[in-house]
Amino acid sequence: MKHSRKKGFGVRVKMTCVFLLLIAMMIWMGILNYTRARDAIVKTYVNDKEQTFMATGNYMEVIFENVATQAVRIMTDDNVTRFYSPVYASDKKVRLGAKKNIDSTIVSIVNTDKYINGIMLIVKNDTVLTSNPVQIASTFYDDFVASKEGQKILNAGNTTSWIGTHPFIDSVLSTTTNSYGLSMGRSLNGFISDKEGAIIVDVNKSVIVDLLNELTDKSESMAFITDDGREIFSDGANESMVDTTFYQKSLTAESKSGSEYVTFNGAKYLYTYCKIGETNTMLSSLIEQSVIYQSADGIKQNTVMMIISTSILALIIASIYASNLSKAIKKAVLGISKVAEGDLTYSINTRRKDEFGTLTENLDHMRHNMKKLITNTSIVSLEVKDSTIEVSKSSEVITSSMAAISSAVGEIEQGMVEQADAANSCLNQMNTLSDSINEVTESTETMVSLEKHTNNIIESSNEALQELYEKAQGTSDITAKIVLDMDALSMQSGSITQIIDTIEDISEQSNLLSLNASIEAARAGVFGKGFAVVAHEIAKLAGQSLEAAGEVKVIAEGISKQTKETSKNVLIAKETVSEQTIALNKTMEGYNDISTQMKELMKQIEKIKEEVYAIENIKNDTLAAISNISAVSQQTAAATREVSDKTDYEFESVENLNKIIITLEEKAKNLEKEIGVFKI
């Protein structure tokens, strides 16, 4: 039977698409590598540019330091000192010789030092020395001081000033800015005594231009910019940067050099700068970004050419390989179609040595095996047909035997069920007896618990009575001691009364002495007044002592009376405590008798408890035996039911086997018919 299937894209189209996908990935990798290479080249270019700028800036710094050194050399020259010294102001011969030597030195420096274009030494109220001698007006110094360049130089003190132009000096010397690129100016203060003035040294412009030309690449605009905004460009450059924001930003930057991408006149540029020492001058350059990227154009072209050539070659190889593979697949598909139609005599062969060749070889091997399988199946189907007849006869015999077994198992199952019911009835009766035994056990446990509780109470009461007896004994002892103390207190009270009687006698005698003293004092007259006062006070003191003694005597008599009453009460308490002690002894004896009886009762309860436990153990053993009998009966009944169920299942299986045998016989006939379709 042929199966129709919707035709999709062929192998050639699919392989071409795969190769195109690989080519697209290769193009993407090429673009990525080109971008990375370009960025690396640009980064290297920027780093090299910054380093070149730094080196050039350091070189120009050395040039400017040399210019400043030459200026100091002139200012400290002995001839300059003699020429302007007040000591030789009237000595024309010395001044003339000194001037001649100064002119010679200045000319020599200008001619031999290629970095210096001109020198001028300006001194107030004195001769102006210059490398370009001209007629100088008498007001020259005042005009110089008033000029912009003069103010800047003179106001700087002893520090060096660097200016881009000096218009006033140019007008006097008839010079132009084309002859110099930068000028150094410094005040003479500290170099020539009692003289005011300045020295100006012009730096040769051509030196700066040559450095810029050596440093400049093609399509690059480079400039040397001074503090006052003068720009000196390299050859071919004329784009001013002084008024741009990026230049102003670089002036205030903390770093000495740097670079950044800026937008200038609508285009993207790389701006690079380098500050030169302490001169407040700067090297600046602008180069278009596209010019920088031109160095990576070679890599771009090579990458594009490689991708194009590789893509064409890949497409050619893919087309050839897909064509050969398509032919082999068509041949294999034809062979498989023949096999599917039942023709197992068609051989699937190919001359390919790759994996597809192995595939077609395996397909042909599968065809051969299928042919062998069909042949064997045909033989087996005949044997199956004969076997089904024999099995059918055996299944009829098994069916009759299974019916007899099923009947016998049913009778056994009924007997086991009746035995299990009897065992369960016996188990229920034993459970009722068990409940009664459990009640007796619980009552016995309750009696034991009550006996233990009663015993604990008796022991606690006995301990309390013992403690009460000890306390009563202590109370008796304390009462006896109190009686003794009260007797001693009574004796002390008698002693106090005797002492008070003595005090009263002394007070009466003192009163008599006082009376006699008063009489004697009256006899003495004036001389006895002091003695009369003393006698009066003694009489007064004796009266007070007599009154106090009377009060104390009353108190002592009260204490003695109260002590006697207390002694009587203590004796009564002592007798009461003695009677309580006797009663406690009798109570303790009664509790001891109760404790003895409770111990005997405990022994009898323990015997009852042991007997009850023995009955309970026998009951448990009996229950376990009956439970085992019931369990065995139930297990036997369950096993019998299981055997019955299995017998029924086997019976059903045998019947199903008969049906399967009939079906198998029909299928064997169909198989024989299907095998006849194949061409072997």
420: pLDDT strictly greater than 70: no
Instruction: Tell me what pLDDT residue 558 has.
Output: 75
Q: Which of 486, 501, 538 is nearest to 517 (CA)?
A: 538
CATH 3.30.450.20 domain locations along the chain: 39-297
If phi > 0 it is left, if psi is from -120 to 50 it is alpha, else beta; for residue 63 that is alpha
- Most confidently predicted of 239-248, 399-408, 663-672: 239-248
Q: Are 227 and 164 in contact (CB under 8 A)?
A: yes
Cα atoms in the Cβ-side hemisphere of radius 13 Å centred on 627:
7
What's the pLDDT at 536? 73
Higher-confidence residue: 569 or 200?
Answer: 200
Share of the chain above pLDDT 90, in %: 10
d(CA 514, CA 561): 36
- Torsional class of 264: left (φ above 0), alpha (ψ -120 to 50), beta (otherwise): beta
Taking the alpha carbons of 332, 337, 338, 344 in that order, is the dihedral positive or negative? positive
Q: What is the pLDDT averaged over residues 290-307? A: 73
Looking at the DSSP bridge assignments, the partners of residue 182 are: 203
Q: Which residues contact 122 (CB under 8 A, 6 or more apart)?
A: 128, 140, 141, 144, 197, 198, 199, 200
Among the listed ranges 8-12, 49-53, 579-583, which one has the minimum average pLDDT value?
Answer: 8-12
pLDDT in tens, 124-138: 888 888 888 778 888
pLDDT of residue 202 exceeding 90, the answer is yes
Band (183; pLDDT cuts 50, 70, 90): very high
Question: Which class in CATH covers the domain with range 39-297?
Answer: alpha beta
d(CA 30, CA 34) in angstroms, rounded, equals 6
Q: Where along the chain do the CATH 1.10.287.950 domains lie?
A: 371-674
Q: Sign of the CA dihedral 77, 81, 82, 83? A: positive
Other beta carbons less than 10 A from residue 37's beta carbon: 14
Phi, psi of 241 (to 5 degrees): -120, 0
Q: What is 371-674's CATH number, 3.40.50.1220, 1.10.287.950, 3.40.109.10, 3.40.50.970?
A: 1.10.287.950
pLDDT at residue 2 in the model: 46
Q: How far is CA 148 from CA 153, 164, 537, in A?
A: 9, 12, 127
Neighbour-count burial for 39-65, b at 16+ CB within 10 Å, e otherwise = eeebeebbeebbebbeebbeebbebbe
Name the pLDDT band for 119 (thresholds 50, 70, 90).
Answer: very high
Cα separation, 270 vs 56, whole angstroms: 18
Phi, psi of 269 (to 5 degrees): -125, 155
Q: Which helix (H) or strand (E) holds 84?
A: helix 78-84
Range among 240-254, 429-443, 617-631 with highest mean pLDDT value: 240-254
pLDDT of res. 1:
44
- Give the least confident one: 274-278, 428-432, 579-583: 428-432
3-state secondary structure of 86: helix
CA distance 137 to 130: 14
Identify the pLDDT of residue 509.
77
Mean pLDDT rounded to a whole number for the chain: 77
